[in-house]
Amino acid sequence: MSNPAIAAKPRVALFITCLGDQFFPQVGECVVKILRRLGVEVTFDPRQTCCGQPAFNTGYRQEAREVATRVLDLFEGADYVVAPSGSCTSMMRVYYPELFHGEAEKLAKVERLRTRLFEFSEFLVKVLKVEDLGASFPHRVAYHDSCHLLRELQIEEEPRRLLRAVRDVELVEPQDNQLCCGFGGTFSVKFPEVSVAMGEDKLRAAAAAGAEYLVANDSGCLMHLAGLIHRQGLPLKTLHLAEVLASQG
Amino acid sequence: MSEHGVDSNQIRELGRQALGDAHLQEAYRSSTLRLYTHRLAAVSEVPGFERLRERARELKREVMDHLDFYLAQFAENVERRGGIVHWAESAEEARSIVGEIARRAGASEVVKAKTMVSEEIELNPALEKAGIRPFETDLGEFILQLSGERPAHIVAPAIHMTRHDVSDLFVHNLHSQPTEVPEQLTAIARRALREKFASAGMGLSGANFAVAETGTVVVIENEGNIRFCTTAPRVHVALIGIEKLIPRLADLAVFLRLLGRSGTGQKLTVYTSLLTGPRRPGEDGPEEMHVVLIDNGRIATLADEKMREALYCIRCGACLNTCPVYRKIGGHAYGWVYSGPIGALVTPQLTGIQNARELPFASSLCGACRDVCPVKINIPDLLLHLRSEAQERAPAPTPSGAALGERTTIRLWAWAMKRPWAYSLGSRLARWGQRLLARGGWIRKIPMYPASGWTDGRDLPALARKTFRERWTEIEKQ
Ligand code: SF4
């Protein structure tokens, strides 16, 4: 394997995301494991917290700006910033420019961040140019397109390519696979009935397609879906893509 | 739901009721799915559909950026062709203009085509009060007039009713025989309406487009009733929201190719009528043609640079059919005449954010609406903008079961997020606290909002025993 990116030994600053840090630290561990195996040097700055999305999405822009400003400063020196979340990546890539509208100095920082920021699956396929990570996962898997990954970042093929390269995995596409799962950040607690009803549709479709696992790249969606599965005792499991890719069967 | 005024802040409660009604759920599910699927098929047949969308968007931007110019041009051309132009700043003004035209025309009955702006200005009750009887001639609107409801969808107003519901309504109100055959239901409505077309002294329509270059009012439809309404009575009145303008007749080709396909999956609707002035000697058609150009909050939207984009809307309804939230809660939950994603933008704009502050929040921001919008309105972006307006101009009431107001909670949260030590301390406290609640890695119930909103319908995974940052020193060494 001669991969120019690997030869150059890229340095990645991991943005673990607040949900990833608090609820799914094992996902972060998988990300680190995979990146290291590919010859990447991973750094983690423990001063990081959240990208500011919860405040921004709930309409509190001042508070979001305060939190986001820290992110801009923390990652100024990094070669690459990688986040295992479509939602947080889209917050930084798509919505920071809007959040800092009219603030030239911050916008310059946003621009610098945007050129170096990647969602995890995107980083693997587009920057490192790898698809086969040598993983093995003998199960039937449905990949859930989280909305921000799909519609804000247009990342649709990368996770599927990575999954297809996994040994023994069977990838199924449930009906209406690109329909929102109903998480939606604070939407999930402001409109819980609707949020839950949307999630139920998602799970029903996955079960009908015979999936054992629902795999996604966003902790929010996964928390929501896993919470529903657990409440209703359904025969389905959820995993983050990184967990599947780090799996040895 | 009250018959007048705006009830938009009830959206959660009304949505909950809709979710509990299996019959209604099925009506919405099947109809939106049908329209959604038809759209997909129709759109995939057109090479360069994307370019068409871009073009339509450009045209709308051009109009909105120079609306004063195009309005003046349109008005001038209407008058040149013998039409009469009226300007209405508010709903009230629009109602009284229409009432006055009817009075002068001596019309005691008015036949109406489907027009959302007439719903918006709540024209029917005003006409009735003035002793003028309005007859809705669009099948969907006819149904709603009998049931006394607001439109549940901007294109298919009676989308929430099944054929069975309609049959029951007709049996009850028109003493017809029960039937679920669509053609027979249409025939029943036709019979009830037929003589009205001949006797009504005035016909009322909206406009899908208003062509500035020629002064032409364009209306599209499938039933043929609009043709009747706009040509049979002696007087025709077209109600036009000022965002309906397009620059030139040639531009119509762009919009017509988009509208039918996006709305119902039709290449073109069955009828497309271009109405330019009243009848000329030797022609059929109305003797008088009036156009009422209606502002009713649109100019304020225009002045808001960010929200201006919402005025590009051509009311195709695709965003409703696609929206997973609309599909669940239905149109009436939005509390006014416009529903779905576009309703969540338009209603706060036209009725004031305080009357509709909850609407922009009733979205998971999934962006499916933006993907189907024929004029590419960035709906999620505008919803986010309105959310911040809502928090500034009409702060959220403290949710029930919450210890603190939302703003205070977010301030505290932001304060902690800016201080890693506070963030870590908060995390430790939460993990200590959750020992009382968590069983086997899951929490079933937290009594306090916002977590209660979560645990109402799903379990919450417990916080990890050790966060990633706490594990990092180990990981780093490996
Ligand atoms: S916002 Fe776009 S998709 Fe929705 S009704 Fe208007 S034109 Fe159609």
Give the list of residues 6+ apart from residue B436 with CB closer than 8 angstroms, or none: none
What Å distances lie between residue B121 and B92, B115, B338, CA to CA? 7, 10, 12
Ligand 1 centroid vs B341 CA: distance in angstroms? 8
One-letter identity of residue A169: V
Secondary structure element (H or E) that encloses residue B292, with its range: strand B288-294
Domain at B8-299: CATH code: 3.40.50.10420
List pLDDT tens digits, range A84-142: 999 999 999 999 999 999 999 999 999 999 999 999 999 999 999 999 999 999 999 99
Q: Of B303, B243, B257, which Cα lies nearest the Cα of B117?
A: B243
What pLDDT is stored for residue B399 in this prediction? Answer: 82
Predicted complex ipTM: 0.95
Partner-chain residue, chosen from A25, A194, A223, that has the shortest CB–CB distance to B471 = A25
* 262-321 of B, contacting A, C-beta below 8 A: none
| Structure tokens belonging to residue B152 | 């549940």
Specify whether the CB–CB gap between B355 and B302 falls below 8 A.
no
pLDDT 10s digit of each residue in chain B, 478 long?
Answer: 334 478 899 999 999 999 999 999 999 999 999 999 999 999 999 999 999 999 999 999 999 999 999 999 999 999 999 999 999 999 999 999 999 999 999 999 999 999 999 999 999 999 999 999 999 999 999 999 999 999 999 999 999 999 999 999 999 999 999 999 999 999 999 888 887 888 899 999 999 999 999 999 999 999 989 999 999 999 999 999 999 999 999 999 999 999 999 999 999 999 999 999 999 998 889 999 999 999 999 999 999 999 999 999 999 999 999 999 999 999 999 999 999 999 999 999 999 999 999 999 999 999 999 999 999 999 999 999 999 999 999 998 888 888 889 999 999 999 999 999 999 999 999 999 999 899 999 999 998 888 999 999 999 999 999 999 999 999 998 8
What pLDDT is stored for residue A1 in this prediction? Answer: 42
What pLDDT is stored for residue A7 in this prediction? Answer: 52
What pLDDT is stored for residue A69 in this prediction? Answer: 97
Q: Please tell me which residue of chain B has the smallest CA distance to A55.
A: B410
Specify whether the CB–CB gap between B247 and B65 falls below 8 A.
no
Q: What is the overall mean pLDDT for chain A? A: 95
Beta strand B442-443 with B460-461: parallel, antiparallel or unpaired?
Answer: antiparallel
Secondary structure element (H or E) that encloses residue A213, with its range: strand A213-216
Ligand 1 pocket residue status of B315, Cβ below 6 Å: yes
E strand residue ranges, B295-339: none
DSSP A16: -
**Is there a contact between B427 and A22 if contact means CB atoms under 8 Å apart?**
yes
Backbone angles phi, psi at B214, to 5 degrees: -120, -10
Q: Please tell me which residue of chain B has the smallest CA distance to A146.
A: B366
Dist. CA B5–CA B2, nearest whole Å: 7
Specify whether the CB–CB gap between B7 and B1 falls below 8 A.
yes
Backbone angles phi, psi at A70, to 5 degrees: -65, -40
Work out which ligand 1 atom sits closest to the CA atom of B342: 1
What Å distances lie between residue A26 and A30, A132, A158, A243, B475, CA to CA? 6, 21, 22, 8, 11
Write down all domains in chain A, each with its CATH number in brackets: 11-127 (3.40.50), 140-245 (3.40.50)
Ligand 1 centroid vs B313 CA: distance in angstroms? 5
Give the list of residues 6+ apart from residue B225 with CB closer than 8 angstroms, or none: B113, B137, B138, B139, B193
Dist. CA A5–CA A97, nearest whole Å: 29
Domains of chain B: which residue ranges? 8-299, 406-477
B/e letters for B341-362, b = 16+ CB within 10 Å, e = fewer, are: bbbbbbbbbbbebebbbbbbbb
Q: Which residue is associated with the tokens 């990447």?
A: A40
Query: Between helices A104-116 and A61-74, what is the axis angle to 10°?
Result: 60
Specify whether the CB–CB gap between A68 and A61 falls below 8 A.
no
- Model confidence at A3, pLDDT cuts 50, 70, 90, reads low
Dist. CA A192–CA B458, nearest whole Å: 9
Ligand 1 centroid vs B374 CA: distance in angstroms? 7
Q: Please tell me which residue of chain B has the smallest CA distance to A21.
A: B468
Ligand 1 pocket residue status of B116, Cβ below 6 Å: no
